[in-house]
Structure 1
Amino acid sequence: MKSNRLMIAAIVAGAGATVILAFFYFHRPADAVVKTAPSGAPVQVRVALVEEKDVPRYLLLTGELRAEKESSVATDAAGIVVLASIERGMSVKKGDVLVKLDDRNAILAVREAEANLKSARADYEHARKDLERNEQLAKVKAVSDSSFQKAKANHDISAASLSVAEVRLDKAEKNLADCTVSAPFTGFVAERKVQIGEYVQSGTVVARLVEVDTLRLSLNVPETAVGSLYVGQEVSFTVGAYPDRTFSGKIKHVGAAVRDNSRDLVIEAEIANSDRLLKPGMFVSARLVLTPAISMVVPGNAIRTEGANSHVFVVQDGHAVEKLVETGVPAGSGVEIRGGLKPGEKVVLDPDAGLKDGSQVRM
């Protein structure tokens, strides 16, 4: 009996201790955290110092390529189109015929003007000789003053008629030349606007030409960045047609005023395009090189990226401390760090997937 009572007492005492332990566990403070020291041997790591270096600065912009020369070529005459052999994309040289109008009336007009000029010259020569003869007679009083004045008037009238005939011939020859529309510069046909047999008026656009060996890149720079612009500044860009290739040029023109509505400034860069890969009208993603600035830099293999966050491990007192960092632009083989680190700190290179915050490390 006595042993039974002792057994029961022990059971009751054990149960009571369990209840007490459970009570303290479930009623512990909410901010109490049980910390366990990292276990295992220290992890061997390689490190690099956080350095301050000159880091290039870039302004990311979008823009559009335009032809250095672009012209909507128009005719200065009216008539029926009899020749239009150009096609879209065709290469033309300065002076090549683009379109020709029916020039039969213009040729007849030139012939008529030439005949009128010939007649006017003959009249003028006759009047000139008559005036010279009357001048000699007038010196010896052998001709009346009225006859002399009449000869002089005839001379002046014939001289004016000769000038009018010369102008009319020039005009007729111009009208004849205007029946042929030629390329004003060497380039490519972007579009033909007329067809054979079509009647056009003076001023009608017959073709659009572009010169593409040199292009202009038009960019809109925010007002806040205007102070960083200068002629000769380097700009690099990519286009959708060649995403793996980077093109470059230099700023040639800087706008004189900021636009009211968009609060930006238009600049233009000159782009060499001897291989003619780039086309006017292409949209580009550009990067404008600004003045370098001093910033922290770490090797690229020190950064671990998870989603939108970038982390590094810093060695402090023999332990790895994980830190969230703000990255910037590439800087050679490294990456700019804009926040989260201090110069001189030691960052772990190629951190192992098993490396955790607080892990013991040795260098």
Structure 2
Amino acid sequence: MKRTIMPVIVISILAIGMIGMLVLSSMKEEPRKQTPPPRIKVVNSIVTESVNNPTVIEAFGRLTSSQPIALISEVNGTIEKGKISFQPAQSFNKGDLIVKIDDRQTKFQLNQTKSDFLSALAVVLPEIKIDFPDEYDKWQNYFNSISFDEEIPELPNAANQKVKLFLTRFNVYKLYFSIKNLEITLEKHYFYAPFSGTVQSADLREGSTARVGSKLGDIINLEDMEVEISLPVTDVKWIDYSKQVKITSNQISGTWDGKIKRISDVVDNQNQTVTAYISIPNRKGLFNGIFLKAEIPGKILDDSFSIPRKSIYSDEYVYLIKNGKLDYRKVEIARKETERVLVSDGITNGDTLVTELMQGVSSGMLAKPIL
């Protein structure tokens, strides 16, 4: 009997102890949950200031000659050396004989026609002396002035219709204009430099045979160089034509002054740009074809705010810090440039503007500026 009672008593004591512990633990006060401090966004900022901002238009283009000329033969013959050797990169001065095409046949034909012309005059002169003595000296002097080595002088005016009839009957007029035509043909055998420049290419060299229509090569004017650039149509209205354009190159150190020379009236359909040409009066140190950067001074935008481009959200919004909180503000953008944006409305003097790109933020969030 005693053996049966003892286990019951032990189990009862243990059960009462467990119940007591549970009751005591339920009576213990739970610790309070601590609320985390509010999160403050620390951002780079500037204090805005309204000033008169000069604008700048940046563009890129290549330096080229404003007068590239293709030399095309209008006569047949063998190419001969002029004053210079006709080959690429060969420089020349204005008036130099760049290249020559064999002119012997044309000279012979010209002198033959002059001989026929003199013969015709020799037949007419006695007739004029007898019938029109007042006209004789004029035509005799003209006959004496003709040379085989010089251009034919201008034909005297035949005031008397009968004299003109004599001249026509003996083909004087016909032969005169044949000579003038051959003189023009003779000039086409010589290519004189219309400017100081260089030979850009030589398709045919000395000793080659040129045909009518053959391209001999290309020459360029080094006295008149210009930079060809493309400008967005929206930038054209900002150009200040009274100021010098700053020209630089990432290949050659130095700065050159330029001037807007002309702007095309035709818009590129794909890019919506127009072509502008900038002349460089002093191109020392620059080479034809080099890639250049042009900084074109623009008009001044009065009472505007210059802010970094990365400050703009959705093309027309900025974040300001007002009373320690972010304020999402719509602004009016007057002009966008490479590194900055000019704002004309939506910001006031003394505003604290966020100047960095933020993600996962919203208006009303606590913020602290780093100025």
Q: TM-score range by the shorter chain?
A: 0.5 to 0.7
Contact 2:87 2:205 in 1 (8 A): no
Q: What corresponds to 2:221 in structure 1?
A: 211
Question: For residues 342 and 119 of structure 2, what CA distance do their matches in structure 1 show?
Answer: 90
Structure-2 change in CA distance of 1:87 and 1:15 (3 Å):
farther
Question: For residues 122 and 258 of structure 1, what CA distance do their matches in structure 2 show?
Answer: 65
Question: For residues 368 and 57 of structure 2, what CA distance do their matches in structure 1 show?
Answer: 42
Instruction: Tell me whether 282-291 or 118-127 shows the greater mean CA deviation.
Output: 282-291
Q: What corresponds to 1:120 in structure 2?
A: 120
Question: For residues 168 and 207 of structure 2, what CA distance do their matches in structure 1 show?
Answer: 43
**SS of aligned partner of 1:113:** helix
Q: What corresponds to 1:76 in structure 2?
A: 74
Contact 1:231 1:254 in 2 (8 A): no
Residues 254-304 of structure 1, C-alpha deviation per residue, up to 9 Å, x if partnerless? 333445554333332222243041424x44444433222233358x9xx99
Would you say how many aligned residue pairs link Structure 1 and Structure 2? 307
Question: For residues 102 and 236 of structure 2, what CA distance do their matches in structure 1 show?
Answer: 54
**SS of aligned partner of 1:112:** helix
Confirm or deny that 1:344 pairs with 2:350: yes
Q: What corresponds to 1:274 in structure 2?
A: 283
Q: What corresponds to 1:296 in structure 2?
A: 305
Aligned 1:156-171 pairs, distance under 5 A = 156-157=166-167, 161-171=171-181
Q: What corresponds to 2:362 in structure 1?
A: none
1:16 shift after superposition: 4.7
Question: For residues 103 and 185 of structure 1, what CA distance do their matches in structure 2 show?
Answer: 24
Question: For residues 16 and 351 of structure 2, what CA distance do their matches in structure 1 show?
Answer: 65
1:103 shift after superposition: 2.0
Instruction: Tell me whether 189-198 or 106-115 shows the greater mean CA deviation.
Output: 106-115
Confirm or deny that 1:222 pairs with 2:232: yes
Q: Which amino acid aligns with 1:71?
A: I
1:200 shift after superposition: 1.4
1:202 shift after superposition: 2.8
Aligned 1:235-314 pairs, distance under 5 A = 235-242=245-252, 245-260=254-269, 262-280=271-289, 282-293=290-301, 294-296=303-305
**SS of aligned partner of 1:291:** strand
Aligned 1:69-218 pairs, distance under 5 A = 69-83=67-81, 85-132=85-132, 156-157=166-167, 161-218=171-228
Contact 2:167 2:173 in 1 (8 A): no
Contact 1:49 1:347 in 2 (8 A): yes
1:171 shift after superposition: 3.1
Contact 1:127 1:158 in 2 (8 A): no
Residues 7-40 of structure 1, C-alpha deviation per residue, up to 9 Å, x if partnerless? 989965785588x858x86xxxxxxx944489xx
Q: What corresponds to 1:136 in structure 2?
A: none
Question: For residues 162 and 195 of structure 1, what CA distance do their matches in structure 2 show?
Answer: 41
Question: For residues 291 and 222 of structure 2, what CA distance do their matches in structure 1 show?
Answer: 15
Question: For residues 70 and 170 of structure 1, what CA distance do their matches in structure 2 show?
Answer: 30
Question: For residues 256 and 95 of structure 1, what CA distance do their matches in structure 2 show?
Answer: 35
Name the TM-score, length of structure 1 as normaliser.
0.63
Question: For residues 113 and 13 of structure 1, what CA distance do their matches in structure 2 show?
Answer: 141
Q: Which amino acid aligns with 1:270?
A: S
Contact 1:124 1:159 in 2 (8 A): no
Name the TM-score, length of structure 2 as normaliser.
0.62
Contact 1:295 1:336 in 2 (8 A): no
Contact 2:97 2:191 in 1 (8 A): yes
Structure-2 change in CA distance of 1:340 and 1:204 (3 Å):
same
Q: Which amino acid aligns with 1:110?
A: L
Gap runs ≥5 in structure 1 = 26-32, 39-46, 134-151, 305-310, 349-356
Confirm or deny that 1:55 pairs with 2:53: yes
Residues 124-164 of structure 1, C-alpha deviation per residue, up to 9 Å, x if partnerless? 2122134348xxxxxxxxxxxxxxxxxx6996146752233
Question: For residues 25 and 257 of structure 2, what CA distance do their matches in structure 1 show?
Answer: 82
1:315 shift after superposition: 10
**SS of aligned partner of 1:196:** coil
Question: For residues 51 and 278 of structure 1, what CA distance do their matches in structure 2 show?
Answer: 43
1:233 shift after superposition: 5.6
Q: Which amino acid aligns with 1:65?
A: L
Contact 2:89 2:198 in 1 (8 A): yes
Contact 1:230 1:251 in 2 (8 A): no
Give RMSD over aligned pairs.
5.1
Contact 1:212 1:276 in 2 (8 A): no
